[in-house]
């Protein structure tokens, strides 16, 4: 019998040297994530020899000034620490290119600069374009790349593009952006990034499910009672983020991409192989199988949206959402959302999926918890501790990546008493080193031509189609419930607790 996880698909393609052009190079993402990720890859010996980094932005800067700013922040945020000698070698491959995003001459000069870099390496080379600018510039950057021919590659080479989130603000804008992208780059060369999929534990979900016989037979409605996905943030609108967030909200900012991606990995069927399309085919089937929440009545029954009021985080007083910088004082944008969802497939019929995401919660944490059904209570019904619930498998995405399993155990002693205990696995302690940053893995995959951890066009559009139904039911109806409230530093509104209590469930304590 042949193994569906064939060796030729498991052995990873090698990352190839290329010129990485980052649009929006003076932004926070470049300084805090992208350049440190490439530096960490160099430290670990993973970065292909000959990679060049060109930052493209509007501000006037020299190469040296750009490098100096990158080094200053790398010293603070690099996962591997900061080695001045290695940085001095690394920075010689970092350049700055000044141009307005709308200026076609800037792209012509970029093409000449890339040609000169390739020539210095002995001929034509590969190009990886990373669009990390504000979303309103995505179209013009792509169109100008095409106008000067930078979307084309020489024979034996490649040209690819990574597009940051948000990939559209609704289905119509996502479809438009997809049209622009695919009119510039082929789908196989287009990488829509979601950094949650680069996290080690997210990558491990398929291995946990399909490579372990203790879980694979149980991963269905017969044995699983409910599944919860929580993404909690203790921050609010620091750093001027309120202007963007108040136009997006928790549903569009987090549920449409990050949480639906995690849900699809948990609920997908086993793929025929580990190719990018093999995996993504199964993920998109899950999103298409989501029961639509497209009427005010369904919204009332299954969705809670809320804003936080003034409170305390770690003993520090914080303002309410409507008091935050750049937030409309009369805003009706949700900073918290909880949903009860159903995947209408044979495997998951009747199993509720509970999702919640919010700002100003007590701690920063993202986790998936699988709640298995309790065994019959006829044996241990009268024993203290027996009513503590069934087994729970917790997949921690951040910050402490790992997996834990709650099982029932007898307490030591002469009497029969039961208590839940936790079997815990931490990546850092089990393997003796911290997990690579998500962007490290994703950048390396793009250089290798592996799109498995990137969203495909139909995935993005199906996710937006689902979210758009909820948005329209919220905003186009006078019958949806009012915005709930909760005190900053608490775990959300009472209405979110009530949502689970209707089913006899409760949110897992993080």
CA 276, CA 449: separation in Å to the nearest integer?
A: 10
CA 468, CA 168: separation in Å to the nearest integer?
A: 12
Burial of 203 (0-12, 13-18, 19+ CB in 10 A): middle
Helix (H) or strand (E) holding 340: strand 336-342
Residue 372 pairs with which residues in a beta bridge?
224
* 258 carries an active-site annotation: yes
Contact 288, 495 (CB under 8 A): no
Total residue length of the chain:
510
Which of 266, 264, 163, 281 lies closest to 210 in space, CA to CA?
266
CA–chain centroid gap for 368, Å, is 13
Helix (H, G, I), strand (E, B) or coil at 316: strand
CA–chain centroid gap for 332, Å, is 25
Which of 83, 87, 75, 27 lies closest to 55 in space, CA to CA?
27
Q: How many CB atoms lie within 10 A of CB 407?
A: 11
CA 46, CA 12: separation in Å to the nearest integer?
A: 13
Contact 128, 447 (CB under 8 A): yes
Query: Residues near 384 by Cβ (< 8 Å), separated by ≥ 6?
Result: 417, 418
Helix (H) or strand (E) holding 442: helix 438-448
Which of 226, 101, 267, 316 lies closest to 499 in space, CA to CA?
226
Helix (H, G, I), strand (E, B) or coil at 419: strand
Residue 455 pairs with which residues in a beta bridge?
192
Which of 99, 93, 97, 101 lies closest to 140 in space, CA to CA?
101
Q: Tokens 């309120």 sit at which residue?
A: 242
Residue 484 pairs with which residues in a beta bridge?
306
The dihedral through the CA atoms of 72, 76, 78, 82 has a sign that is positive
Q: Given the residues 31, 97, 195, 258, select the one marked as catalytic.
A: 258
Query: Residues near 418 by Cβ (< 8 Å), separated by ≥ 6?
Result: 380, 383, 384, 385, 386, 388, 408, 409, 410, 411
Contact 392, 508 (CB under 8 A): yes
**What are the φ and ψ backbone dihedral angles of 433, each rounded to 5 degrees?**
-155, 160
CA 160, CA 446: separation in Å to the nearest integer?
A: 8
Q: Tokens 């559209």 sit at which residue?
A: 168
CA 91, CA 70: separation in Å to the nearest integer?
A: 9
Active site residues: 258
């Amino acid at each position: 019998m042949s193994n569906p996880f064939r060796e030729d698909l498991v052995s990873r393609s090698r990352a190839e040297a290329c010129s990485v052009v980052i649009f929006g190079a003076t932004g926070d993402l470049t300084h805090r994530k992208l350049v440190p990720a490439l530096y960490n890859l160099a430290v670990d010996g993973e970065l292909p020899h000959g990679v060049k980094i060109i930052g493209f932005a509007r501000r006037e800067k020299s190469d040296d000034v750009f490098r100096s700013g990158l080094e200053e922040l790398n010293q603070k945020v690099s996962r591997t620490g900061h080695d001045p000698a290695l940085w001095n070698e690394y920075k010689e491959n970092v350049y700055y290119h000044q141009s307005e995003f709308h200026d076609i001459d800037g792209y012509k000069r970029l093409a000449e600069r890339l040609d000169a870099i390739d020539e210095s390496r002995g001929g034509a080379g590969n190009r990886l374009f990373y669009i990390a600018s504000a979303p309103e510039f995505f179209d013009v950057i792509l169109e100008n790349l095409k106008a000067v021919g930078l979307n084309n590659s020489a024979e034996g080479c490649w040209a690819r593009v990574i597009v940051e989130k948000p990939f559209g603000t609704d289905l119509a804008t996502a479809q438009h952006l997809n049209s622009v992208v695919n009119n510039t780059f082929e789908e196989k060369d287009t990488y829509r990034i979601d950094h949650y999929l680069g996290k080690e534990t997210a990558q491990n979900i398929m291995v946990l499910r399909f490579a372990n016989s203790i879980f694979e037979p149980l991963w269905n409605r017969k044995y699983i009672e409910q599944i919860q996905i929580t993404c909690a943030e203790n921050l609010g609108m620091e750093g001027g983020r309120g202007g963007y967030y108040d136009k997006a909200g928790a549903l569009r900012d987090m549920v449409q991409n990050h949480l639906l991606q995690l849900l699809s990995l948990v609920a997908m069927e086993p793929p025929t192989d580990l190719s990018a399309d093999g995996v993504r085919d199964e993920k998109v089937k899950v999103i298409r199988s989501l029961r639509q929440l497209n009427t005010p009545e369904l919204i009332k029954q299954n969705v809670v949206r809320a804003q936080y009021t003034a409170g305390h985080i770690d003993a520090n007083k914080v303002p309410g959402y409507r008091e935050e910088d750049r937030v409309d004082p009369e805003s009706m944008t949700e900073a918290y959302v909880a949903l009860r969802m159903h995947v209408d497939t044979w495997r998951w019929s009747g199993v509720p999926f509970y999702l919640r995401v919010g700002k100003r919660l007590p701690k920063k944490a993202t986790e998936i918890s699988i709640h298995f059904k309790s065994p019959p209570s006829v044996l241990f019904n009268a024993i203290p501790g027996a009513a503590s619930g069934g087994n729970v498998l917790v997949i921690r995405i951040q910050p402490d990546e790992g997996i834990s399993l709650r099982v029932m155990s007898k307490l030591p002693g002469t009497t029969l008493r039961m208590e839940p205990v936790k079997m815990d696995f931490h990546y850092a302690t089990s393997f003796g080193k911290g997990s690579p940053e998500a962007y490290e893995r994703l950048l390396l995959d793009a250089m290798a031509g592996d799109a498995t951890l990137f969203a495909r066009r139909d995935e993005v559009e199906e996710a937006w189609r689902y979210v758009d139904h909820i948005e329209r039911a919220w905003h186009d109806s006078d019958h949806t419930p009012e915005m709930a409230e909760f005190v900053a530093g608490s775990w959300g509104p009472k209405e979110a607790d009530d949502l689970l209590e209707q089913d006899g469930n409760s949110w897992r304590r993080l």
